[in-house]
Copies of this chain bind each other. A is one copy, B any other.
Amino acid sequence: MIDPVILKGFRDSMPQEEIPKRKITSILEKGFQSYGFVPIDTPVLEYSSVLLGKGGGETDKQVFHFEDNGGREVAMRFDLTVPFARFMAAHYSELALPFKRYHINKVWRGEKPQKGRYREFIQCDFDIVGVDNVQADFEILSMMHHSFSLMGVNGYTFHISHRGLFNTFLEKEGIADKSIDILRAVDKLMKIGKDSVREILIETIGDEKKADKVLEYITAGGSSFLETLSVLETLSGGSSEGSERLRAIYALLSEVGIADSFVLDPSITRGLDYYTGIVYETFLDALPSLGSVCSGGRYNNLASLYTKETLPGVGSSIGLDRLIAGLEELKSPILQDSSSSDVLIIYRPEELARAEKTAYELRRKGKRVDVYLEPNHKAKRVFDYAGKNNIPYSISFKDDEIVLKNHATRESRVFSSVSEAAEGIEA
């Protein structure tokens, strides 16, 4: 006998987890599709040299890689960004640019498993590639807003900022050469607090006054988006390309009436060197400690590792596991319903044909119908089954009539036809 055990850091997805996960994924897809985004997929296995580039060291250890039977060095994808860069380099000439894609699928990392951290998890990425303009930036933000509203999340705020504007400020202060270290320090603001960041900045820049200027910039806040923007403009030496882009984005957000969900937050920088324009993070208002559930920004060259073609873009990634954890904590209605069916049909052996005919008719009316398949219809087992599968109704037969029972209220109603009973089932 083989022990049916699974690997550390991996897990089975049980129906009560898989049902809400699929529901959220399909809502997100609907949101993406209503903005004209299309799905793609890429192979799970690729050449190690393609996925890892020249890099190595730290990343290598976290990547599942091996030599296949043909002697090729292959690796399992560890994110969806690198495969997308490779994909765009391979296919940009056959695609109609700008290209708007989403990609929702698993990635693997050999990290030390921790609470809530797994070696196999789902990423959800979406990008607009091929243009650098205000409408593309706006469309990404507007789509994020639309997706979160479709999920029925109550209260979410998009914190946005502009990396180019921050660079303009650093140049004005004459400390642009230290930008990477400064970014890394600023990125820690939420975690370690203002005082600790100040200390690191002083050490990095070697000038207390300039460190305080940086701190002033990243903590600047007015009573509105536009007021904060004015402060940042002043600090960075007046109107610039970055500040004008932010102003134009805000004008569009206002025009369509969704500006309230967006905050200009100069402390958002996203650690990576990769970003060049707007950057953003998304927080659930009721759970700020959860961290950002949707982050990204604008970059000016997606696929430089694989092609000379310059591909600017703007993109975002939703942390699906984190988002689901947040929605669970907020008891989101989407996650509450993990019912396998709308109604369970219970019958005596001699009623089997009637049960199947009733099921068939209800299914044609769009109901999700479970015919209880265990011949031993002991009440306790049947209701245990209905309970574990969260089935809200059951149907049984009494002479010519149909008895519809609501499991929550324990009320029964009697109908003389399947059509009438169908009306009594609230999906």
- Cβ of A284 < 8 Å from any Cβ of B? no
For A352, the chain B residues whose CB sits under 8 A away are: 134-135, 252
For A139, the chain B residues whose CB sits under 8 A away are: 356, 371, 373
Which partner residue on chain B sits nearest A37 by CB separation?
A: B340
CB distance from A80 to the nearest CB of B (A): 13
CB distance from A35 to the nearest CB of B (A): 7
CB distance from A73 to the nearest CB of B (A): 10
| Beta-carbon contact of B50 and A131 below 8 Å | no
Q: Which of A260-268, A317-325, A361-369 lies on the face that meets chain B?
A: A361-369
For A68, the chain B residues whose CB sits under 8 A away are: 7, 64, 110
For A61, the chain B residues whose CB sits under 8 A away are: 69
> Chain A, 7-39, contact with B by CB distance < 8 Å: what is the 0/1 string?
110111111001100100010010001111111
- Cβ of A44 < 8 Å from any Cβ of B? yes
Q: A136-B373, A352-B252, A374-B130 are in contact. Are A12 and B41 (CB under 8 A)?
A: yes
Candidates B7, B36, B97, B369; contact of A35 at CB < 8 Å: B369
| Beta-carbon contact of A13 and B34 below 8 Å | no
Candidates B26, B29, B47, B255; contact of A357 at CB < 8 Å: B255
Give Cα A366–Cα B146 distance, bound, in whole angstroms: 12
Q: Which of A88-96, A151-159, A207-215 lies on the face that meets chain B?
A: A88-96
Q: Is the interface of A mostly helix, strand, loop or mixed?
A: mixed
Give Cα A40–Cα B95 distance, bound, in whole angstroms: 35
Q: A138-B356, A255-B356 are in contact. Are A12 and B95 (CB under 8 A)?
A: no
- Cβ of A66 < 8 Å from any Cβ of B? yes
Which partner residue on chain B sits nearest A248 by CB separation?
A: B352
Give Cα A416–Cα B387 distance, bound, in whole angstroms: 53
| Beta-carbon contact of B4 and A43 below 8 Å | no
| Beta-carbon contact of B45 and A10 below 8 Å | yes
> Chain A, 51-85, contact with B by CB distance < 8 Å: what is the 0/1 string?
00100000001001011111010101000000000
Candidates B3, B7, B43; contact of A120 at CB < 8 Å: B43
| Beta-carbon contact of A255 and B353 below 8 Å | yes
Interface residues of A in 172-231 (CB under 8 A from B): none
- Cβ of A42 < 8 Å from any Cβ of B? yes
Give Cα A363–Cα B249 distance, bound, in whole angstroms: 19
Give Cα A368–Cα B294 distance, bound, in whole angstroms: 22
| Beta-carbon contact of A36 and B371 below 8 Å | yes
The tally of residues in A whose CB lies under 8 Å from a CB in B reads 108
For A355, the chain B residues whose CB sits under 8 A away are: 135
For A375, the chain B residues whose CB sits under 8 A away are: 131, 133, 135
Candidates B90, B146, B306, B369; contact of A12 at CB < 8 Å: B90
- Cβ of A308 < 8 Å from any Cβ of B? yes
| Beta-carbon contact of B120 and A36 below 8 Å | no
Q: A36-B341, A388-B96 are in contact. Are A353 and B1 (CB under 8 A)?
A: no
- Cβ of A128 < 8 Å from any Cβ of B? yes
For A76, the chain B residues whose CB sits under 8 A away are: 44
Give Cα A246–Cα B391 distance, bound, in whole angstroms: 31
Given contacts A4-B90, A5-B90, A19-B38, 8 further A-B contacts (CB under 8 A): A2-B306, A3-B306, A4-B306, A6-B42, A15-B39, A96-B387, A98-B374, A135-B373
Give residues in A with beta carbon < 8 Å to B: 1-8, 10-15, 18-19, 22, 26, 29, 33-47, 49-50, 53, 61, 64, 66-70, 72, 74, 76, 86-87, 89-91, 95-98, 100-101, 106, 108, 110, 120, 128, 130-131, 133-136, 138-139, 142, 146, 251-252, 255-257, 303, 305-308, 340-341, 344, 352-353, 355-357, 360, 363, 366-371, 373-375, 384-385, 387-389, 391
List of 8 A-B pairs having minimum Cβ-Cβ separation, nearest first: A36-B370, A66-B66, A15-B38, A96-B388, A13-B41, A10-B43, A4-B89, A36-B341
